Amino acid sequence: MNIGERFKQLRTEKRMSMRELADSLDVSHAQVSKVEAGKITPSVDFLNKAADYFNVSISYFFMEKIELMDVSGLTVDGIKISDEEKESMIQLVRKRRG
């Protein structure tokens, strides 16, 4: 997942339009659109604003895969959880924080 995809994911999880987010970050709609589409690389200032707004670290935008903790041995009802279930858990936490 690239920077634009991560940015879009955060925006859509909050159910915001590009315009709403642009207004919140005090940037142009075009800039948000171009970042999400991967047409431009966001500035450090842009990333700082986005990280503060979404309550994530700047490094979040550059991570290959989000790892909250090692849950490889986690079981539910004696059955090891799958990668799909791990991802569902991450999404649930994000929604509750949203």
Please report, for the chain, the start and end positions of each structural domain, with discontinuous segments joined by +.
3-62, 67-98
The partner residues of 75 in beta bridges, in order of sequence, read 80
Mean pLDDT for the stretch of residues 81-92: 79
Angstrom distance (rounded) from CA 13 to CA 19: 15
Residue linked to tokens 């004696």 = 78
Q: Is pLDDT of 67 > 70?
A: no
- Per CATH, the number for 3-62 is 1.10.260.40
Q: What is the pLDDT of residues 11-63, one digit of tens each?
A: 998 899 999 999 999 999 999 999 999 999 999 999 999 999 998 888 888 87
